[in-house]
Chains A and B, each alone.
Chain A
């Protein structure tokens, strides 16, 4: 007991000394540069100025500062942007093309956006959610009422327009010109886009998605149970945690989206979740594990993809209740019992088991994992490619013959 007390005192003293040194260094640099030297701050331009070392007492303050910075008001005054979307648009068919195109317009501050869909043969659910959540992003970040909410969508393809109407796209993105034809898609094949602004609807949405998967997927009974218990549960917990933050402040302004669509001719069900959160990297570098992660992944670089990859590892989390390593003799270990940060790891393991490819696009990076669990090199972009985080799953669908039976 005596030895423990002595150890405790020594540790406290060391921590206090380290904190004093940090504080002095911070004040010195602040005076010298008139800037916040905090790496997170530099990346986002200020956020954690009041928080040097994040712990459970100041986690909320740090997180609110990052939110404030991410969603700070901007002036959308630049020249109108003409965006041509051609061929098949979405991560379902071409991740690189999707990221390249998104990089062109997501971070610009145009006063108006014109989406030209004349040569667009198909808008996949991921492409649709990119535009829907971008519209939401403009709404959240525009300083004036002249926010670029109304882009023109002018698809010449009847099929594309009909599908956009059918999936609920026009409920969120107002188009000035469109064909307005009756739909030719079955409502049995889709869970339409809904922006979730309340945590209370989570179970309803869970059941809607799971019902479609039960009806249309090629998964066996056991596989369906795995999908339901692990993949769906953990993803919904994740998006609702990141997408419905700050609800006490402005509930209707935040939220997350889902669009689930069965593509019988292509043989798969596309499940897309999107949140308008701060992104995986910002979540991790403003969380309790920031110091540990900083030592492995430099924060000054455009390495969002590397951070997404890291988030798949066990015990990595930006959450309030994230596990912290404790020093135990020679090495640090996580405490037994309660732990956070296993959600993405569990999702990944189960996707591998069920042979479901998964893809995550978050802020300026992307990671994709194929049906055998092989991860493609993380993609790191210098500009934002998604306002928040997009999770996409490709579940094998029943063949047409099986459905007819």
Chain B
């Protein structure tokens, strides 16, 4: 199983959804396309037994817009929060950041 160490491989201040937001740097869109490309298919969520691990050690800021663009994007494949956390395993994540991700997954899924 592949592990992504976000602060080391990407950045520690995760706030911008896309290039139009904030300073346009280290965007969620960029992260998703660079590190989560294989997740962007129905096949991966429904039939593959693959999992991915995301290590948030050293990540101080995780904004709702960033979480929405990076993770709730996959709601288009009818991914529930339970299914998401089953396939995407987070390490060193605080309860606040978990709650932010769940809120965004729910908002995306229930839309």
State the A residues within 8 Å of B (CB): 199-203, 206, 222, 225-226, 228-230, 233-234, 236-237, 240-241, 314, 320-321, 323, 333-339, 342-343, 346
Contacts and interface: CB of A to CB of B under 8 A. Distances in A.
Contacts of B69: 338
Nearest to B66: A233
A203 B13 contact: yes
B95 interface: yes
Contacts, number: 95
A206 B65 CA distance: 16
A240 B111 contact: no
Nearest to B110: A336
B20 A233 contact: no
B62 to A, nearest CB: 5
B107 A339 contact: yes
B97 interface: yes
Contact of A335 (B13, B15, B111): B111
Contacts of A202: 22-23
Contacts of B20: 241, 320-321
B108 A228 contact: no
Q: Which of A226, A230, A323, A333 has the most CB of B within 10 A?
A: A230
B6 interface: no
Contacts of A203: 13, 15, 23
Contact of A241 (B21, B73, B74, B75): B21
Given A339-B68, A346-B103, 14 more contacts: A203-B23, A222-B95, A228-B60, A229-B64, A233-B15, A237-B15, A237-B21, A241-B22, A333-B111, A334-B111, A336-B109, A337-B76, A338-B68, A343-B64
Contacts of B100: 229-230
Contact of B96 (A201, A226, A237, A346): A226
11 contacts: A203-B23, A206-B61, A225-B97, A226-B96, A229-B62, A229-B64, A337-B76, A337-B108, A337-B111, A338-B72, A343-B65
Nearest to A199: B23
Interface string B67-88: 0110011111010000000000
Interface string B19-36: 011111000000000000
A234 B16 CA distance: 9
Contact of B72 (A206, A320, A337, A343): A337
A228 B12 CA distance: 13
A199 B62 CA distance: 19
A116 to B, nearest CB: 40
Contacts of A200: 23
B64 A199 contact: no
A225 B78 CA distance: 30
Nearest to A198: B23
A346 B109 CA distance: 17
B63 A234 contact: yes
Contacts of A337: 72-76, 108, 111
A237 B76 contact: no
B23 A339 contact: no
Contacts of B97: 225, 229
Contact of A339 (B15, B78, B108): B108
Given A222-B95, A236-B22, A336-B111, A342 B63 contact: no
A273 to B, nearest CB: 14
Given A225-B96, A237-B16, A336 B108 contact: yes
Contacts of B95: 222
